[in-house]
Amino acid sequence: MPGDVKRRSAKTGLPPGSLIHIGEQHSATTRITLCVYDDTGFQEREVETLEGVAVPAGEAVTWIHIDGLHEVRHLEQLGKAFGLHPLTLEDILNTEQRPKSEDHGEYHYIVLKVFHQDAGGALIPEQVSIVFGRTWLVSLREREGRLFEPIRERLRVEKGRLRKGGTDHLAHALIDVIVDSYFTVLDRIGERIEGLETALIGRPSPTTLRSIQTLKREMLLLRKSAWPLRELLGNLDRSESPLIHGQSALYFRDITDHAVQVIDTIETYREMLSGMLDIYLSSLSNRLNEVMKVLTVIATLFMPLTFLAGVYGMNFRYMPELEWRWGYFALWGVMLAVACGMLIVFRRKKWL
Amino acid sequence: MPGDVKRRSAKTGLPPGSLIHIGEQHSATTRITLCVYDDTGFQEREVETLEGVAVPAGEAVTWIHIDGLHEVRHLEQLGKAFGLHPLTLEDILNTEQRPKSEDHGEYHYIVLKVFHQDAGGALIPEQVSIVFGRTWLVSLREREGRLFEPIRERLRVEKGRLRKGGTDHLAHALIDVIVDSYFTVLDRIGERIEGLETALIGRPSPTTLRSIQTLKREMLLLRKSAWPLRELLGNLDRSESPLIHGQSALYFRDITDHAVQVIDTIETYREMLSGMLDIYLSSLSNRLNEVMKVLTVIATLFMPLTFLAGVYGMNFRYMPELEWRWGYFALWGVMLAVACGMLIVFRRKKWL
Amino acid sequence: MPGDVKRRSAKTGLPPGSLIHIGEQHSATTRITLCVYDDTGFQEREVETLEGVAVPAGEAVTWIHIDGLHEVRHLEQLGKAFGLHPLTLEDILNTEQRPKSEDHGEYHYIVLKVFHQDAGGALIPEQVSIVFGRTWLVSLREREGRLFEPIRERLRVEKGRLRKGGTDHLAHALIDVIVDSYFTVLDRIGERIEGLETALIGRPSPTTLRSIQTLKREMLLLRKSAWPLRELLGNLDRSESPLIHGQSALYFRDITDHAVQVIDTIETYREMLSGMLDIYLSSLSNRLNEVMKVLTVIATLFMPLTFLAGVYGMNFRYMPELEWRWGYFALWGVMLAVACGMLIVFRRKKWL
Amino acid sequence: MPGDVKRRSAKTGLPPGSLIHIGEQHSATTRITLCVYDDTGFQEREVETLEGVAVPAGEAVTWIHIDGLHEVRHLEQLGKAFGLHPLTLEDILNTEQRPKSEDHGEYHYIVLKVFHQDAGGALIPEQVSIVFGRTWLVSLREREGRLFEPIRERLRVEKGRLRKGGTDHLAHALIDVIVDSYFTVLDRIGERIEGLETALIGRPSPTTLRSIQTLKREMLLLRKSAWPLRELLGNLDRSESPLIHGQSALYFRDITDHAVQVIDTIETYREMLSGMLDIYLSSLSNRLNEVMKVLTVIATLFMPLTFLAGVYGMNFRYMPELEWRWGYFALWGVMLAVACGMLIVFRRKKWL
Amino acid sequence: MPGDVKRRSAKTGLPPGSLIHIGEQHSATTRITLCVYDDTGFQEREVETLEGVAVPAGEAVTWIHIDGLHEVRHLEQLGKAFGLHPLTLEDILNTEQRPKSEDHGEYHYIVLKVFHQDAGGALIPEQVSIVFGRTWLVSLREREGRLFEPIRERLRVEKGRLRKGGTDHLAHALIDVIVDSYFTVLDRIGERIEGLETALIGRPSPTTLRSIQTLKREMLLLRKSAWPLRELLGNLDRSESPLIHGQSALYFRDITDHAVQVIDTIETYREMLSGMLDIYLSSLSNRLNEVMKVLTVIATLFMPLTFLAGVYGMNFRYMPELEWRWGYFALWGVMLAVACGMLIVFRRKKWL
């Protein structure tokens, strides 16, 4: 997170609307996919440039998907083609946005976060922007990936709702995929939490604590992205924009339910992690107790015996016991009796 | 809980409205019970299939109850018969729903959670869906059980309010049974909490801590299902739907009171469990104190004595005390005096 | 509390409006007191049954007070006489209600909790119901007691506001007495908190912790009953019911102020108890520190000395010091010097 | 605080509006100061009784200030003179009020708390009531003091805003002085917090903990009085009463800003005190660690040496080392080596 | 913070609107910069006094920037020139303001906080006031600095939006710079948090704790200034003042997004710091455990051995073992066996 703020702070003092890509470059090249579809057909092709693209006439839907944000000129062409406000373009490039939806009249702008997990399981956020007008939709990701492949697949084969619907239907489908991807992430985190719980019952170590803290921080990160989802989707559901048709609202409400489920799960995980911290701390206390009991038992057992041995090691001229025939063996008896008595007391106290 | 998310994440990428049962299959067969009643009569029978069912004409109420959700074809027939929206059907099958009520104009859709306890006392949530139109009500459970038997019994014998009322009355009766079932669950949890408190006053062990954490987690689970009840029932109470008659509102408000009581009890239990955690942790500290006192008393008692014995075990050529006639016995006297003095000090400090 | 839920759960499955008294029977007999008063006169008598009671005609106010809820027939007669809704009757008998006020048009129904303290100081909640129409008011308690005696006394002697006012004035007077009774309870709890604080400064024991936890739980109980008071009284204050006259609102707002004061005091006590828990836990740590210091001082003092004594107890053939004339006394000198040095170090470290 | 509740509970059962002064008597005599001023002049005198006072005619403002509430007859005269509601009079006398403002149409009633500090620095709350109509204002304090002296001074000399303004201006000036007095109190508390911080860095003792807890409790007390200020002032600011002129609203908003600053400071202090508690508790742990390290170092150093000395103190007939010429000195060498080795290990572990 | 309150409390009793500069004097001299610009040109000069300044006629924008608040006469001249309310002037001088925006009809008054970091990294807040009417804007800082230099630079060279826009555009640009400066501060704090995390994984010391607490307190300070930003900017965004044009709202909403991001980061840092406190405390426990294990291992190893040595140092006349030829070596064997057995046990318990 400090890194995000660092990159963000580098823009200080520039006029708003300056098109500078902050965020690391995740894909070597920019890949632009262009789909045009309506009830009757579906075309799909990759293009090199957005030169010449314009608001499509007619009822067919044009979906432009861009992987990679580091080539600013595509953004400028997009802005010109669809009349996007400079601030919208700036927000698309500034990958530290909070999820939000903005109604710009002619178009809707939606920013979302999607999460990937690297080899070590660490969460990597990626920003996805969706801009849609009446007959066009542009989606933009920071990195290449197959996130929206299922949608494209459905467009290719399906003759159903999605092909018949407008851009709001497509937007809904994209957001649905994104919200569903949270379940995948939460699923893996759930498995790590289960692993930690097993570790806690066994022999927790400072590593366990560190894992708990790492997970807590990831839940913070997820939460920061998931909480605004509810508001964002509520806005779309209640929107009076002509771009969103009545029956779409029902579908947006359906994703809202999913988002609420995501938030609930995040909050549950957070409380579980807090509980695990308590268990970890009390296990430290328990172990200290255990160690101290061993020490106390040993000390309590041998100190009196050593004292007795010390007494009969003294060199007083007149010590009658030393002269006794069975003195030595009698002392062993006494020492054994003392030791056994101690052990019985300890057993009674449940220390052994 | 991680399991839930796992199953949920398996649906990622499917179009919304896809009828797939997520959740474990709890009953071997699907059992469908069909009741038709009005003020004058009551009929009840089991059917194999919902083929041919349709919105009933006339004023008699048709109540279809389905145990088991894994046979998707029944759902499809239901959807066709009563004109249910695909998203409603999907929600019925997706058993990870949050409790909610939806007004679809022609029908109301209500999802609730009911809790069972397995042999070990662990909570198992089950989803119950209730859909009702003007003359028909469909209730669906994941598993077979006698939860709604008392309602059926009242319909069979009673000539009163329930038989005279419409589907909103029946829905109210079903929800009432479900909310009441929370009291049963809370009752058993209350007994376990009492058991834990006795254990805490006695000799708390790491098992006690684990039980507290388990209960805390179950309270989280219950809470997630109970909190939305208030909103859900408030919606029904304030509903302006023609499906809900004026005087039903009073009854829904009555269940709201019960739901608030459930939530209050859950919150109280949560605070009690937090308090028990504090007691557990402080009991660990107390026990450590106790152990350390024993160690300190023993060490403080025997170290000086062992030192004295060591002194008179030295081999200096000239040690006058060693030659004294009663030196040995005098030393014993000194050692006893030292020990008694220590014991008096400890008693004063309340360590013994 | 678990007991409450238990009794509540016993009602599961019964139709709503079933008149069953849940709650323990607190009074052997039911005692019914009937007062009729207006500006000019006051009559008071005890009756055996409510047979024949009806909504009084004219302007005189009829106040029926019932001690003891276990005889259901009185409730049924009440219901018939004043046209009470079955749910109201059920709520009166169900002594696990949350404080609330309901406007039923013809009458107002108010439930409140009042607290008693048993010999050991434990809080015992009691439910008080107040139902009033234009010319009649019924108050019901679970147990016999002198709670409302001051009101009756004022009615007997006073020629003032209360005799001139309507049923809303009487209701106000009764609620005022109940809210004031919270101050008495809080006063006694305040004394117990003060006692605990003295104990904490002295020598806190696990009993102290248990007392803190008991008080915390009682604050939870009180809070659950006090928080709804504010809403309840706010409802009465803002009520547009013809049963509540304009100038009564001012009086209800006055009790609201008292209720807010009660809630404030409860929250303050809760924070004080949390602070006391911190003090208790840190006093455990402090005591452990104290014990460990004693152990460390003793061990550090005697271990080097015992070692020295051990050295000169060795049997090497050639140990020059042993032959010295003043060797023994020189060693005593060394040992005293070591001990004094240690003590000075400890004093510098403030361990003694 | 328990004392407050105690005194409050003594009023239980009395009719509302009973004029009894609860609260300790803080001033031996009641002092009544009467000022009359308008744009052109200012008169000031002390009076013995409020007999004959009445709502002043004309535009001049009459300000009556009363120090001491224990003489109820003055209140009764006030009530009669300015037509105050019995509940207002009761609230003035009941010094356990929460800060609030009430619009009674003909007059405004405002209650505030002001804090004094006794010799030991403990906070003592005092209730100040302000009642004002169109041409008169009455202010009442529990004890004599110079709190309002600056206002009187400004009235005497100033020819400005205050003399020209109405009673709302005077009320504003009085409230301003009261809110400003919170800064003085917070200033002193801030100094005590700084002192505690220094103590925490040095050698915290249980006294430090007790001071933290005392301060936390005082912050609770202040908070209870400061939070309602915001609402109270907001009410005055938004008031549509003809008693409050448009431009006064701006001044009330200005005090609201100050009140928010007071609340912010209180919350900051609360968080600082919580942080100090954490530091205190961890300093206990740190000290325990320090003590235990000393013990461990000493024990680990001398136990092996004492063992070695013990070995060569044995009386076996055949122990070759004892016969060696330099055995004794060789052993000293070994023991020194062991001790030095240990010390090196400890230094590596940073225990020394 | 206590210092702020101290300075604030010094003003008690003065009439509102008194022009006294509270706050330390940060710059030796007051520097006044005056810019006049419109679409076609830009002039900039430093002036000595504001004598003769007046509301500019025409459409050109006049921007007066003042560094240093200690010379009250400039404020008085400003007040006269632009008709500022005495309370506005007082607020500008009182540098303990909470961020807020006030619509005074003829002008808007905005107060913000900007943070500097001294050599040690400690945060130093500075108050920035912005007042703007239709054709003039005055900005005031406590100290000299280059904070607004980028804006001036853009005005000098740019022919774009800023030069064409009105005072609301300039105000927006200034606020944007200020909000962006928070990212710089958070960036540095993020680095310090990262440093602390490394320290925590290594060897945390009480200094680490103190650094955590210092950072927590700085987050409190930042938070107090950042939270009101959201409300402040929301007010400007929704403002219906003629001073703020429709398209500016979009830009203010854009800064709101940044402010929300600042607040999110602050809250995240706060949670991270809380987590670090947990890690610190548990590392103390861990270290105690480690120390105690060393002590226990040493004691458990040597106590039995010392006891055995003691036994054979006794002087009983008849102790057969002492006479054995290999007794001494046999005992060494036994002692080695005991020691090895102990070590194996410890290894099994994972204590070594």
D213 and D100 both lie in a single domain: yes
Q: Quick one: pLDDT band at residue E22, thresholds 50, 70, 90?
A: low
Helix axes C246-311, D246-311, angle to 10 degrees: 20
Token pair 């929600």 is found at B91
E strand spans, chain A = 31-37, 42-47, 61-67, 100-103, 108-117, 123-132, 136-141
Mean pLDDT of E329-351: 89
Q: What is the rounded CA–CA span in Å between residue E190 and residue C118?
A: 57
Nearest CA distance, C89 vs chain B (angstrom): 12
Q: Quick one: pLDDT band at residue E178, thresholds 50, 70, 90?
A: very high
List the single residue in E with minimal CA-CA distance to D180: E12
Range of the domain at B300: 290-348
Which of A127, A301, A302, A342 has the most E C-beta neighbours within 10 Å, making it the best mutation to test the interface with E?
A: A302
D278 and D300 both lie in a single domain: no
Torsion (CA) E300, E304, E306, E310 in degrees, nearest 10: 160
Per-residue pLDDT of D43-88, as tens digits, reads 888 888 888 788 888 888 999 999 988 888 888 899 999 999 988 9
Per-residue pLDDT of E74-93, as tens digits, reads 888 999 999 999 889 988 98
Q: What is the rounded CA–CA span in Å between residue A198 and residue A195?
A: 5
| Integer-rounded Cα radius of gyration of chain B | 34
B242 and B168 both lie in a single domain: yes
Q: Please report the DSSP string for E82-101 in residue order.
A: HT--HHHHHHHHBTTPPPEE
Q: String of b and e for B249-277 (b: at least 16 CB within 10 Å)?
A: bbbbbbbbbbbbbbbbbbbbbbbbbebbb
Q: Is the pLDDT of residue D3 over 60?
A: no
Q: Which one of D2, D213, D299 has the shortest CB-CB distance to C279?
A: D213
Residue A13 is predicted with a pLDDT of 60
- Contacts of residue A342, defined as CB under 8 A and 6 or more positions apart, other chains included, come to A297, A300, A301, A304
Q: Read off the tokens for D171.
A: 């009320």
Report the range out of A162-166, B201-205, C225-229, E204-208 with the highest average pLDDT.
C225-229
Q: Do E85 and D250 touch (CB under 8 A)?
A: yes
Per-chain mean pLDDT for chain A: 86
B306 and B161 both lie in a single domain: no
Block means of pLDDT (10 residues each) for chain C, 352 residues, are: 54 67 68 89 87 82 90 88 90 87 90 88 90 93 87 80 86 92 91 89 83 90 91 85 82 89 91 89 87 88 89 85 85 91 89 76
What percent of chain B clears pLDDT 90, i.e. is strictly above it?
25
**Where is average pLDDT lowest: B165-179, C10-24, E123-137?**
C10-24
Q: Which residues of E touch A224 (CB under 8 A)?
A: 264, 268
| Global confidence as pTM | 0.83
Is the ipTM value over 0.85, yes or no? no
Domain count along chain B: 2
Residue E192 inside a domain? The answer is yes
Nearest partner of C129 among C137, C121, C118, C141, judged by Cα: C141
B200 and B327 both lie in a single domain: no
Q: Which one of C9, C12, C315 has the shortest CB-CB distance to B315?
A: C315
Q: Is the pLDDT of residue B235 over 50?
A: yes
Answer whether E218's CB lies under 8 Å from E186's CB.
no
**Where is average pLDDT lowest: A152-161, C133-142, C289-298, E115-124?**
A152-161
Q: Which residues of A touch E291 (CB under 8 A)?
A: none
Residue D326 inside a domain? The answer is yes
Secondary structure element (H or E) that encloses residue E139, with its range: strand E136-141
- Cα end-to-end span (Å), chain D: 49
Q: Which one of B264, B303, B304 has the shortest CB-CB distance to C224?
A: B264
Q: Is E18 helix (H, G, I), strand (E, B) or coil?
A: coil
Q: Is the pLDDT of residue D317 over 60?
A: yes
How far are the Cα atoms of C49, C78, C164 from residue C136, in angstroms, in the given order? 17, 11, 14
Q: Do B294 and A300 touch (CB under 8 A)?
A: yes
Q: Is A319 exposed, middle or buried (0-12, 13-18, 19+ CB in 10 A)?
A: buried
Answer whether E117's CB lies under 8 Å from E218's CB.
no
Q: Which one of D184, D279, D288 has the shortest CB-CB distance to E9?
A: D184
Q: Quick one: pLDDT band at residue D2, thresholds 50, 70, 90?
A: very low
CB proximity A334 to E under 8 Å? no
Q: What is the DSSP letter of B146?
A: S
Using alpha carbons only, give the angle C243, C244, C247 rounded to the nearest 5 degrees. Answer: 145
Residue E14 is predicted with a pLDDT of 67
Q: What is the rounded CA–CA span in Å between residue E19 and residue E17?
A: 6
B51 and B199 both lie in a single domain: yes
- Contacts of residue A135, defined as CB under 8 A and 6 or more positions apart, other chains included, come to A55, A56, A57, A58, A59, A60, A61, A62, A166, A167
Using alpha carbons only, give the angle D296, D299, D301 rounded to the nearest 5 degrees. Answer: 105
Q: Do C289 and D291 touch (CB under 8 A)?
A: yes
Residue B177 is predicted with a pLDDT of 92
C113: alpha, beta or left, given left = phi > 0 and alpha = psi -120 to 50? beta
Q: What is the rounded CA–CA span in Å between residue E285 and residue A284?
A: 7
Q: What is the rounded CA–CA span in Å between residue B287 and residue C177?
A: 48
CATH number at residue E327: 1.20.58.340
Q: Quick one: pLDDT band at residue B344, thresholds 50, 70, 90?
A: very high
Residue A288 inside a domain? The answer is no
Dihedral pair phi/psi, residue E34, rounded to 5°: -125, 120
Per-residue pLDDT of B36-93, as tens digits, reads 998 888 888 888 888 878 888 888 899 999 988 888 888 889 999 999 998 899 888 8
Q: Quick one: pLDDT band at residue A160, thresholds 50, 70, 90?
A: low
Dihedral pair phi/psi, residue D58, rounded to 5°: 80, -170
Q: What is the rounded CA–CA span in Å between residue B134 and residue C185?
A: 52
Q: What is the rounded CA–CA span in Å between residue E91 and residue D251?
A: 12
Q: What is the rounded CA–CA span in Å between residue C134 and residue C137?
A: 8
Residue B1 is predicted with a pLDDT of 43
Q: Is the pLDDT of residue B270 over 50?
A: yes
Secondary structure element (H or E) that encloses residue B282, with its range: helix B246-311
Contacts of A among chains (3+ CB pairs under 8 A): B, E
Residue D256 inside a domain? The answer is yes
Nearest partner of C28 among C64, C69, C65, judged by Cα: C69
Nearest partner of D179 among D239, D260, D103, judged by Cα: D260
Residue D324 inside a domain? The answer is yes
Q: What is the rounded CA–CA span in Å between residue B283 and residue B216?
A: 19
C232 and C89 both lie in a single domain: yes
C299 and C269 both lie in a single domain: no
Residue C23 is predicted with a pLDDT of 65
Q: Do E176 and A16 touch (CB under 8 A)?
A: yes
Answer whether C144's CB lies under 8 Å from C155's CB.
no
D274 and D303 both lie in a single domain: no
Q: What is the rounded CA–CA span in Å between residue C162 and residue E185?
A: 66
Q: What is the rounded CA–CA span in Å between residue D268 and residue D255?
A: 20
Q: Do A292 and B294 touch (CB under 8 A)?
A: no
Q: How many CB atoms lie within 10 A of CB E340?
A: 10
Task: Give the sheet arrangement for strand E108-117, strand by strand.
Answer: E42-47, E31-37, E61-67, E136-141, E123-132, E108-117, E100-103
Residue A287 inside a domain? The answer is no
Long-range contact list for A198-205, CB < 8 A, 24+ apart?
A200/A276, A200/A279, A200/A280, A200/A283, A201/B210, A203/E350, A204/A279, A204/A280, A204/A283, A204/A284
Answer whether D297's CB lies under 8 Å from C303's CB.
no
Dihedral pair phi/psi, residue D140, rounded to 5°: -135, 130
Show which of C233, C259, C282 is a domain's final residue: C282
A144 vs A137, more confident: A137
Residue E4 inside a domain? The answer is no
E224 and E306 both lie in a single domain: no
Q: Which residues of B touch C284 (CB under 8 A)?
A: 282, 285-286, 289
CB pairs under 8 A between C and D: 166
Q: String of b and e for C147-177 (b: at least 16 CB within 10 Å)?
A: bbebbbebbeeeeebbbebbbbbbbbbbbbb
**Where is average pLDDT lowest: B235-239, C118-122, E20-24?**
E20-24
Handedness of CA E248, E254, E255, E256 (dihedral sign): positive
How far are the Cα atoms of A124, A143, A205 from residue A120, in angstroms, in the given order? 11, 19, 19
Answer whether E325's CB lies under 8 Å from D325's CB.
no
B12 and B83 both lie in a single domain: yes
D120 vs A131, more confident: A131
Show which of A240, A255, A282 is a domain's final residue: A282
- Contacts of residue E322, defined as CB under 8 A and 6 or more positions apart, other chains included, come to D314, D315, D316, D317, E312
Q: Is the pLDDT of residue D126 over 50?
A: yes
Q: Is the pLDDT of residue A199 over 50?
A: yes
CB proximity D327 to C under 8 Å? yes
E240 and E296 both lie in a single domain: no
Q: Is the pLDDT of residue E63 over 90?
A: yes
Nearest partner of E174 among E136, E142, E128, E134, judged by Cα: E128
Q: What is the rounded CA–CA span in Å between residue A296 and residue A303?
A: 10
Q: How many CB atoms lie within 10 A of CB B20?
A: 11
List the single residue in D with minimal CA-CA distance to C177: D13
CATH number at residue A91: 3.30.460.20
Show which of A282, A314, A334 is a domain's final residue: A282
Instruction: Determine the residue type at B170.
Output: L
**Where is average pLDDT lowest: A136-145, D234-243, D338-347?**
D234-243
CB proximity D177 to E under 8 Å? yes
Dihedral pair phi/psi, residue E263, rounded to 5°: -65, -45
List the single residue in D with minimal CA-CA distance to E303: D303
Per-chain mean pLDDT for chain E: 86
Residue E9 inside a domain? The answer is no
Q: What is the rounded CA–CA span in Å between residue E26 and residue E35?
A: 23
Contacts of B among chains (3+ CB pairs under 8 A): A, C
CB proximity B207 to A under 8 Å? no
Mean pLDDT of A107-124: 89
Handedness of CA B249, B250, B251, B254 (dihedral sign): positive
Q: Which residues of D touch E2 (CB under 8 A)?
A: 187, 190-191, 193-194
